[in-house]
A = this chain, B = another copy of it.
Amino acid sequence: MDLSSILGLIIGLAGLIAGYLYEGKFDFSLLGSLFQPSAAFIVFGGTIGCALVAFPMSELSQLPGLIKIVFTQKTYNEIDIINQLADLSEKARKDGLLSLEQDAQTNSNEMIKKGLSLVVDGIETEVIKDILQRESYLHESIFENGAKIFEAAGGFSPTMGVLGTVMGMVSILKNLTNPEELGPMISVAFVATLYGVLFANMFWLAFANKIKVKAGREKMITDLIIEGLLSIQAGENPRIIKEKLNLALLEKMSKKGGAKQEAKEAEG
């Protein structure tokens, strides 16, 4: 459970509804006016349509998984991973690399699982690094594409809202027989703008940002795992591994430090 995502939606929607009710002197029957199927058809149908035209099916099919990522929290964190890798290295030093076979099957982290089985199979260091990094890149590009789709939806959504309001006005102004009904009908037309702006900001754009932040953290963890597994294979001292990873973590936690690090790797 990603607390901030869920809390954000609760606080945000509660604030909007509280303000709306306060203005209407807490006449709860007004809440019904906020639910307009016509606006929903236009805004969601339109946004989904635009997204389908703009992106290929294969990328759009990743969205449900990405929405899940916005609302769930990984059960492990950087410190856990470092400790786990240090434990594995200790075991490997005591009982040999082959003793990790069991862990290669049971570890809860997919990356560690895959990496350990490669280590146990005695694959070359360079090849392991390549395979794991490619995996990490692939993962990251799914996150990035997802963020891009949500950003695009965040751009389409308010314009579809405006479209819905304009369409409502076209329909209203065309049949202007009863001026007294004008108010409530315009009210309905405005709901489309409301949906378009609300979903763009509190959902699509905010989701895109959360996914980007999580992708950055995920990358940090997979980098730690790769570094740790290679150290295990090299038979390094568990304590030194732990220290090295802590240092690497600190460095990665600052973007600049990370950028510098990458620059160094690119050079060396």
Chain A residues touching B, majority SS: helix
In the complex the two chains form, is B134's CB within 8 Å of A16's CB?
A: no
In the complex the two chains form, is B250's CB within 8 Å of A54's CB?
A: no
Across the interface, name the chain B residue whose C-beta is closest to A71.
B53
In the complex the two chains form, is B191's CB within 8 Å of A170's CB?
A: yes
In the complex the two chains form, is B141's CB within 8 Å of A170's CB?
A: no
State A146–B149 Cα separation when bound (angstroms). Answer: 21
State A10–B257 Cα separation when bound (angstroms). Answer: 39
In the complex the two chains form, is A207's CB within 8 Å of B53's CB?
A: yes
Q: A11-B48, A140-B254, A183-B176 are in contact. Are A55 and B209 (CB under 8 A)?
A: yes
In the complex the two chains form, is B16's CB within 8 Å of A163's CB?
A: yes
State A43–B77 Cα separation when bound (angstroms). Answer: 34
Q: How many copies does the complex hold?
A: 5
State A153–B182 Cα separation when bound (angstroms). Answer: 35
Number of interface residues of A (CB under 8 A): 110
Inter-chain contacts of A12 with B (CB < 8 A)? 45-46, 48-50, 52-53
Min Cβ gap A216→B in Å is 10
Q: Show 26 residue pairs from A and B whose CB-CB distance is below 8 angstroms, ordered by the A residue.
A: A4-B57, A12-B53, A14-B45, A15-B48, A15-B49, A16-B41, A16-B164, A18-B42, A19-B39, A20-B167, A23-B38, A23-B188, A23-B189, A34-B170, A53-B209, A54-B206, A55-B210, A56-B210, A56-B217, A133-B257, A138-B250, A140-B254, A158-B159, A167-B194, A172-B187, A173-B184
Q: A3-B57, A15-B45, A206-B53 are in contact. Are A253 and B141 (CB under 8 A)?
A: yes
- What are the 5 tightest A-B residue pairs by CB atom distance, in nearest-first order? A15-B45, A12-B49, A8-B52, A19-B41, A176-B183
Inter-chain contacts of A260 with B (CB < 8 A)? 137
Across the interface, name the chain B residue whose C-beta is closest to A36.
B23
Most buried by B among A14, A56, A180: A56
Interface flag for A144 (CB, 8 Å): yes
In the complex the two chains form, is B253's CB within 8 Å of A50's CB?
A: no
In the complex the two chains form, is A163's CB within 8 Å of B55's CB?
A: no
Inter-chain contacts of A23 with B (CB < 8 A)? 36, 38, 167-168, 171, 188-189
Inter-chain contacts of A170 with B (CB < 8 A)? 20, 33-34, 187, 190-191, 194
A138: contacting residue among B57, B159, B217, B254, CB under 8 A: B254
Q: A95-103, A105-113, A197-205: which one contacts chain B?
A: A197-205
